[in-house]
A = this chain, B = another copy of it.
Amino acid sequence: MSSSAQKHDVFQAIADPTRREVLRLLAEKERPISEITAHFPMSRTAIAKHLQVLSEAELVSGQKVGREKIYRLHPEPLTELKQWLSFYEKFWENKLSILKHIVENAADHRLQVIKPEETDNN
């Protein structure tokens, strides 16, 4: 894994469950590497690499203080994900999605268009 540059984006960064858990831990509070490592069944080196991927995606940053390196969450890049998601939300969240579902099951529902004037005689 490389030095610092854009080799990993936010989509890749959150693809790994370990990294998502690291983010969750850092959401609570900032922590040194060793403390983060204590939560996982793997070596400190492995966690350090995960932190590097997260760091490349700019989701975390580490600051050296004394002999420790304190990492903390940097949630801003997640807005990119949110934007990406928002495009697809219309497919399940809004009226069209409901309409689409109804149309797809038209045979069962026996759809019937009712004109406003006819609305009161049901």
Contacts and interface: CB of A to CB of B under 8 A. Distances in A.
A78 B88 contact: yes
Contact of A87 (B27, B85, B92): B27
A98 interface: no
Judged by DSSP, the binding face of A is: helix
A12 B92 CA distance: 21
Nearest to A59: B88
For this chain, the copies found in one complex come to 2
A79 interface: yes
Interface of A: 11-12, 14-17, 20, 23-24, 27, 73, 75-76, 78-79, 81-82, 84-85, 87-89, 91-92
| Shortest beta-carbon contacts, A-B, top 4 | A15-B15, A75-B91, A11-B15, A75-B88
8 contacts: A11-B16, A11-B20, A23-B88, A27-B91, A73-B91, A78-B92, A81-B85, A85-B85
Given A11-B20, A78-B92, 12 more contacts: A11-B17, A12-B15, A14-B15, A20-B84, A27-B87, A73-B91, A75-B92, A78-B88, A78-B89, A81-B81, A81-B85, A82-B89
